């Protein structure tokens, strides 16, 4: 009974602080770490990362990263302003850096700090593919996915602590830790992460389309990603990301909607 009460208290606490709003879905989201704390930490970590890695400047690729990033940022502001979220980006400090690293990756930290690794450029195959990548990464930041993941992790840890405090019997406590660890990861945290990826895919399509890039290219990009990963990818159930096939199908189905969204802003032809 004590364990049940503890779990309810932790869950209720998580819901009570769910005061942030996802501007793209209108849904309330957990925000145990407010942006007023999250952004300065993000900016400091970004600066440290740049100081420890080789930033590429003065090349056509570096210029392309900046150009695409700026267009995506403008598209985000246009969409947010048109949908009643004027000022949403006031605390963002956009920065776009190309880093020399063969890793096939790119990311955007909370507050608009973006890194693209040189290793992903051959997969992007040009500016439109890069727009699909950067649109997706920016979408994570705009939808506060980092904030939500941190909050969910705190709740997950809180429940684990409450369980260990409430369960006095060592054998039962060990069983709780084993099954809760697996169950909360596979049943809650991983689906949570996959939902974020799917949401970022949709938002990213809108952003790239409003920025003037053909959203059809996003599915083509992921076909190339799928070919790169081969048949050894992690099963979707155990992964933080949807399967490549699921992703490609979803992006393909959403592309016409993204074009319709772009048309609202007078964008009817795409690069």
Active site residues per annotation: 137
Query: What tokens appear for 20 in the block?
Result: 């942030």
Rg of the chain in Å (alpha carbons): 20
SS (H, E, C) 119-179: HHHHHHCCHHHHHHHHHHHHHHHHCCHHHHHHHHHHHHHHHHHHHHHHCCCHHHHHHHHHH
Helices and strands in the chain: count of H runs, count of E runs: 10, 6
How far CA 50 is from CA of 42, 74, 171, in Å, comes to: 12, 24, 48
How far CA 95 is from CA of 62, 110, 265, in Å, comes to: 12, 11, 25
DSSP H helical ranges for 83-126: 121-124
Are β-strands 113-117 and 106-109 bridged in parallel, bridged antiparallel, or unpaired? Answer: antiparallel
Q: Find how far residue 70's CA is from the centre of its chain.
A: 18
């Amino acid at each position: 009974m004590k364990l049940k009460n503890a779990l309810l208290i932790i869950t209720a606490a998580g819901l009570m602080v769910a005061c942030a709003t996802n501007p793209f879905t209108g849904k309330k989201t957990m925000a145990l770490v407010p942006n007023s704390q999250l952004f300065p930490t993000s900016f400091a970590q970004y600066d440290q990362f740049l100081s420890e890695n080789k930033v590429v400047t003065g090349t056509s690729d570096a210029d392309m990263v900046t150009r695409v990033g700026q267009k995506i940022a403008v598209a985000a502001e246009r969409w947010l302003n048109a949908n009643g979220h004027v000022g949403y980006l006031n605390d963002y400090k956009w920065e776009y850096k190309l880093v020399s690293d063969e890793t096939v990756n790119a990311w955007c930290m909370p507050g608009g700090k973006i890194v693209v690794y040189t290793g992903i450029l051959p997969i992007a195959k040009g500016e439109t593919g890069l727009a699909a990548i950067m649109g997706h990464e920016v979408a994570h930041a705009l939808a506060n996915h980092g904030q939500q993941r941190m909050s969910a992790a705190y709740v997950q840890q809180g429940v684990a602590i409450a369980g260990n405090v409430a369960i006095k019997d060592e054998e039962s406590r060990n069983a709780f830790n084993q099954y809760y660890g697996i169950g909360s990861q596979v049943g809650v945290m991983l689906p949570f992460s996959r939902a974020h990826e799917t949401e970022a895919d949709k938002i990213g399509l809108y952003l790239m389309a409003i920025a003037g890039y053909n959203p059809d290219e996003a599915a083509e990009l992921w076909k190339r990603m799928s070919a790169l990963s081969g048949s050894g990818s992690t099963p979707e159930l155990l992964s933080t990301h949807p399967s490549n096939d699921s992703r490609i199908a979803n992006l393909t189905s959403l592309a016409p909607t993204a074009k319709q969204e772009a048309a609202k802003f007078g964008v009817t032809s795409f690069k």
